[in-house]
Amino acid sequence: MANALQFCATVQAASPVFSKRMHCQSSWHRPSPPLNYNYKFVATSLVLSKRSRRSLKVSCEAANVDLLETNKIDKEAEKKITCVMKFGGSSMASAERMREVAELILSFPNERPVIVLSAMGKTTNNLLLAGEKAVCCGVTNVDSIEELGFIKELHKRTVKELEVDESLIAKTSHAAPFAEHLEELEQLLKGIAMMKELTPRTKDYLVSFGECMSTRIFAAYMIKIGAKARQYDAFEIGFITTDDFTNADILEATYPAVAKSLLGDWISDPAIPIVTGYLGKGWRSCAITTLGRGGSDLTATTIGKALGLSEIQVWKDVDGVLTCDPNIYPHAEPVPYLTFDEAAELAYFGAQVLHPQSMRPAREGDIPVRVKNSYNPNAPGTLITRSRDMSKAVLTSIVLKRNVTMLDIVSTRMLGQFGFLAKVFSTFEDLGISVDVVATSEELDHVVEELEKIAVVNLLQRRSIISLIGNVQRSSLILEKAFHVLRTLGVNVQMISQGASKVNISLIVNDDEAEQCVKSLHKAFFETDISELEWECVSGNGSAST
């Protein structure tokens, strides 16, 4: 189909109205079948003849729509990118794992994916530890920091075992070669040692080495085994964020910018994009930022929305989202289906498996997210979509968040009720503390000091939040059963709340009782027949299976 006269245009869709207009224009121009022609998404690509391209330019100007670019296309570009596949640290922990992941990617001949990678294994933790040690170890001792040794050894060994050499790594991108990264990392640690200071901004620069190195090595390996691959640093291709170092938010401008970078290259020379997860660029500072721990999931869903892909896959080391944390209770089972709301709530309340913000772009783009196991690709995993059949659903998953501080605030009646609550929340806002993720007791001292002007405040530490994610249409059944289990254990619930999204009931208990509660709740809800559950509750003669 492609010939010298054909071009591809990438335009930025502003609204459904535009899409409609676009539709008219496309029939008017009579283009060949669209590359990525989807009404809902930001970037729309069309294959056009040279004459149509000129007319499209005029029409776009008239419709006040950005024509991002028109490129000559080749045959390969007619096959659009289909999905994004994200592989986390656990999937990329060694040369052996990288080989398996490469094989896995190539085992889907009908997919043309964008790959998002995290740092290898525990590299991010090791980089942070190395940074903390550098603060107090003195410049001359930096090269003997144990974690720096681990990082160097892991990456050099991986390069050697995969048999990718420097020249191959250099071919993967225009950026600095791999050896220079290790060199620069050591220099940075020496700088930290000299300054005796590790700011959040420096922390983000420091941890970025993990993803920058893993993607370069992996892209080089893909090229070595004959695949076409191209490495990208997210902060160079339009991941624009707030300047909240260590926990930055993706800004809206990211979507068209990322679409433009990735589609532009794909159209002119298709190659599997291998993108660094977790990283961005602060819009004011222009410095490297990170999206919060586990942020590569968010990178993947952002790319999914930016390109209007049909699926987002996040590959983990477990068979999908499970009924509870397998580290607490090994009999946790995979949950086959979840809604975006359920998954977001689960992540927000502490399930390590997904980044708390990662569902937002997927929900906005209405793109299904599949959570799969890179160690067991045949397992069906979890499919996360906008809605699902809830007719049989009671409880979906149990999440535990430990070491939470509970503030018990009683008004001294100096303010009316509305004024009192407003003052309480503005105190948290002024001090930049998010309720539910209060970090240190030092921060809390200020909160207590402020609140004591209007209330009696009790600080209750070492508490846990147990979140019951499920069908809150059946909240009476869930609560009845849960309280029955907890009463049998002799546990006193200290607070209860139902989330605004109506998929979550949260209970606060003491830290030292929490794990046992989760185990017993799991047995009662997931290892008991549901009809039995309802019968027990109706007849009132059931007993908790603990």
Ligand X SMILES: Nc1ncnc2c1ncn2[C@@H]1O[C@H](COP(=O)(O)OP(=O)(O)O)[C@@H](O)[C@H]1O
Ligand Y SMILES: N[C@@H](CC(=O)OP(=O)(O)O)C(=O)O
Applying CB under 6 A, which residues contact ligand X?
88-91, 118, 294, 316-318, 321-322, 324-327, 351-353, 397
- Compare residues 89 and 320 and give the one whose CB is closer to ligand Y: 89
- Is residue 356 a contact point for ligand Y (CB under 6 A)? no
- Compare residues 124 and 520 and give the one whose CB is closer to ligand Y: 124
Report what 353 binds from ligand X, ligand Y, none; CB cut-off 5-8 Å by kind. ligand X
Report what 293 binds from ligand X, ligand Y, none; CB cut-off 5-8 Å by kind. ligand Y
- Is residue 350 a contact point for ligand Y (CB under 6 A)? no
Q: Is the separation of the CB atoms in 70 and 48 below 8 Å?
A: yes
Q: How many CB atoms lie within 10 A of CB 327?
A: 10
Exposure class string for 286-323: b at 16+ Cβ within 10 A, else e:
ebbbbbbbbbbbbbbbbbbbbbbbebbbbbbbbbbbbb
- Compare residues 142 and 344 and give the one whose CB is closer to ligand X: 344
Q: Looking at 31, 88, 131, 470, which residue binds ligand Y (CB under 6 A)?
A: 88
- Least separation in angstroms between residue 360's CB and ligand Y is 16
Report the C-alpha gap between 251 and 363 in whole angstroms.
16
Q: Looking at 31, 113, 131, 210, which residue binds ligand Y (CB under 6 A)?
A: 210
Q: By C-alpha distance, which of 350, 344, 341, 354 is closest to 437?
A: 350
Report the C-alpha gap between 394 and 397 in whole angstroms.
10
- Least separation in angstroms between residue 242's CB and ligand Y is 18
- Is residue 277 a contact point for ligand Y (CB under 6 A)? yes
Q: Is the separation of the CB atoms in 220 and 99 below 8 Å?
A: no
Report the C-alpha gap between 349 and 400 in whole angstroms.
7
The full DSSP string for 375-438 is T-TTS--EEEES----TT-SEEEEEEEEEEEEEEEEE-SSS-HHHHHHHHHHHHHHTT--TT--
- Compare residues 9 and 98 and give the one whose CB is closer to ligand X: 98
Q: Are strands 369-373 and 337-339 parallel, antiparallel or unpaired?
A: unpaired
- Compare residues 84 and 119 and give the one whose CB is closer to ligand Y: 119
- Is residue 296 a contact point for ligand Y (CB under 6 A)? yes
> What strands, in cross-sheet order, belong to the sheet with 279-282?
240-241, 279-282, 288-290
Report what 321 binds from ligand X, ligand Y, none; CB cut-off 5-8 Å by kind. ligand X
Report what 25 binds from ligand X, ligand Y, none; CB cut-off 5-8 Å by kind. none
- Is residue 470 a contact point for ligand Y (CB under 6 A)? no
Segment contacting ligand Y by CB under 6 A, of 117-125, 235-243, 374-382, 441-449: 117-125
Interacting residues with ligand Y (CB under 6 A): 88-89, 118-119, 124, 210, 277-278, 293-296
